Structure 1
Amino acid sequence: MTAETRSIHIHSDGEDIAGTLLSPETSVPGVLFVHGWGGSQQRDLARANKLAGLGCICLTFDLRGHEKTLAQQHTVTREHNLADVLAAYDHLIAQPSIDRESIAVIGTSYGGYLATLLTSLRPVRWLALRVPALYWDEEWTEPKQTLNRERLQDYRRRSLSSADNQALQACSEFQGDVLLVESEHDDFVPHATIMNYRAAFFQAHSMTHRIIDGADHALSTDEAQTAYTSHLSKWVTEMIIGSRTGQQ
């Protein structure tokens, strides 16, 4: 099944951010992709196209501070980018053929962090997080680029509970299905952060945790990219497609 691809503009805080909507011929669940800091929707398009072919309406987009709005990277805050994610989610569920009770969000690194916050503000049934980053709650309205990197690395090595962090709090309230993907050799999101996320999802309907052997944070090798695509496709097929065919 081929997907119809359409370039779109998403309105967020009075500005436009670019996105690409991929949709199959029949009405099906929706999947929102949220890229990481320094990334773009281009990194998600191939996987979105694959999932659209499986029968999902997929939306990729560029967070403010990236691609056409790169000039804003030194001023954009986490608050701004969460507003972008909310705007993209609302655009996705506004599609005529969408099943509003069947929404999946797939986030990478910073996008994974934002995706967890989204679950406390909008209904999400399935949540896939690849190497989700973690940030302290304070300095929420400060430019994301100015956050102290050394302090961040120290913070991410700590053992944190849902009471310590708003993203982990959102995870603790999530009752859907979760895919958590870790890179074995990640210099940005250490194992401790992944375990903090995993422990926080204690109310999740299901938890699937996968480690990509030999992979770094960015999945720099073709083998690592292929492994992640395989994990994601299998999970989507089991969870999302399976729910539509009565196999779950």
Structure 2
Amino acid sequence: MNIQAELISIGNELLSGRTLNTHGRDLGEALAAIGLQLSRDTTIPDDIPVIGSAVDEALARVDLVFASGGLGPTIDDITRDALAKLLNQKVVIDQPTVDYLKEWYEQRGRTITLASTRQAQVLESAVVLPNSVGAAPGQRIELPQKKILFVLPGPPNEFNAILSEEIIPWLKKRYADARPRLVRVVCTQGIGESDIVTILEATGYEPQGIDLGFYPGMGKVEIRLAAAPGHEARIEEAEQTLRELLAGHLELS
């Protein structure tokens, strides 16, 4: 099973450098843990045509699309409008979310306003995903050809709460047969990437069916081996051979 996903992060503040975008890291890790793959991470501005085209193109490529950001109460929070236009759907008020927002604001000594209720707007076909740590809920929109569009708020704590509490459990049920890729890690020290590659090439080390990744930093290189589920013997053999070839350069435990 090879289910791929794309993330579209929406917000001028992400492109200007004012806000650090951590969604790709968090989503990629969460999906990999249940056997799904984040294949692309795109950041775009708050612009209705750009949002529409980015989501449309992503849905043409993969089964799962995550769009984050632009769900707040201000005039530049236009993600709902862009998606409604793309999917030819109405934007409606979700009354349970309005009730939740009233209580949410009261607990903080504030009164809900008409602008605040904008955060309760969802697409008419959406399944509303509760936001346990913030205001605007997430949305799950099921589309033709088994495509799924998830819409999430931008703040990382809210994004991750909805992801872990609502989306990942649902995906685990939907793709119950998915299995995480096998991963092994070999860490070296005192040797650079180019020297490691020279050693491996000189010995003809090129394990079949194994993806190799090299991640240098602070005098060390982390080598990650990855393989499809069911190839335990193959990846264990590749790891053992790699350790033997680099025996004089392995990081001390």
Q: TM-score, structure 1 length as denominator?
A: 0.40
Look at both structures and tell me which one has the larger radius of gyration over its CA atoms: 2
Q: TM-score, structure 2 length as denominator?
A: 0.40
